[in-house]
Amino acid sequence: MKIAVLKGDGIGPEIVEAAQVVLNKVDEKFNLGIEYAEALFGGAAYDVYGNPYPEESQKIVEQCDAILLGAVGAPKYDTIEPADLRPEKGLLAIRKSLGLYCNIRPIKYYDFLADRVIWKKGLLDGLDIVICRELTGGAYFGKRGHDENSAYDTISYSRPEIERIVRDAFEMAKNRDRKILHSIDKANVLDSSRLWRKVVNEIAVEYPEVELHHLYVDNAAMQLIVNPTQFDVIVTENMFGDILSDESAALGGSLGMLPSASLGGKISLFEPSHGSAPDIAGKNIANPIATILSAAMLLRFSAKNEAAARAIEDAVNAVLADNIKTPDLADETSKVVGTMEMAQEIAARI
């Protein structure tokens, strides 16, 4: 398979190159026939083309089977005008152009990161959540405008947009052990949420084996803190999903542990859930695990190779169980390694 490599900005190049070390080892073991095609994206593309997702990069992406993305953004791009040319807008553009409406973020609790979470030991045991976030609708893609004294962003959803992400979430819940789905909205205030809840209830009839719960987004945010193990699969709209999935990062101990997949089109995109962290770029201390686990999701969803995906996940678990960690995860007993060293330790266990 051919993978478009969009390294992006900040620590993006380092963590993507680390993930490629692991992918190359998996390719060697499983004979996957992986090829790479690099393209500029985000601030790196703006510096060359004046656009975070230029035509030159689009052409490369469209000739590939999947995308591995690092991260985008840096303070120097925050004042670019018009704002549509800022690196983060490249993310919206690539999602929209490829029809990537379903963002999947798995969040797991690891015993060896117990000292990195604020919960008492035992309260997160068994935590295994998947957040399904709608990715191409809502306020981020609705009508917007501003002048000197006012601004507006419109949350807009159609029935088909809601149906496709909700059905995906029900399917996912149906195929998991607990078979629980929480749908998150603000139906007591927003018309878009009332339609969301109506559609969820209609589809729920087709999935009698799935236990469905509705939560308002403010309550959901609280419940993720006070009783997170009640959750199995969560489905929600774009902005709510953005906020809740970042909040949920605290459950895993580090944003550096959280992969993501954006699905729905012919070509899927895989990236870590964290940002570009320009303050640590080039220091060989960035945690590449989220990107490496995103590469595992690439093998699962795009290559349809579950064995290869699990080989990566098992290798990550083995390294961490051996107390080999990057600085963001380490304690005084850990063997502390850099970005590329972590990748090499994981690759050695494939």
Residues belonging to the active site = 140, 186, 218, 242, 246
β-pairing verdict for 102-108 and 259-263: antiparallel
Nearest CA to 301 out of 65, 29, 98, 91 is that of 65
How many Å from the N-terminal Cα to the C-terminal Cα in the chain?
19
- In Å, how far are 25, 135, 178, 182, 189 from 216, measured between CA atoms? 44, 19, 22, 10, 10
Nearest CA to 197 out of 228, 167, 162, 224 is that of 162
Contact between 295 and 270 (Cβ < 8 Å): yes
Instruction: For tokens 């993006």, name the residue.
Output: 12
Sign of CA dihedral 92, 137, 107, 300: negative
Give every CB contact of residue 194 below 8 A, 6+ residues apart in sequence: 185, 187
Half-sphere exposure of 27 (CA within 13 A, CB side): 15
- In Å, how far are 85, 87, 159, 271, 276 from 45, measured between CA atoms? 10, 8, 35, 17, 15
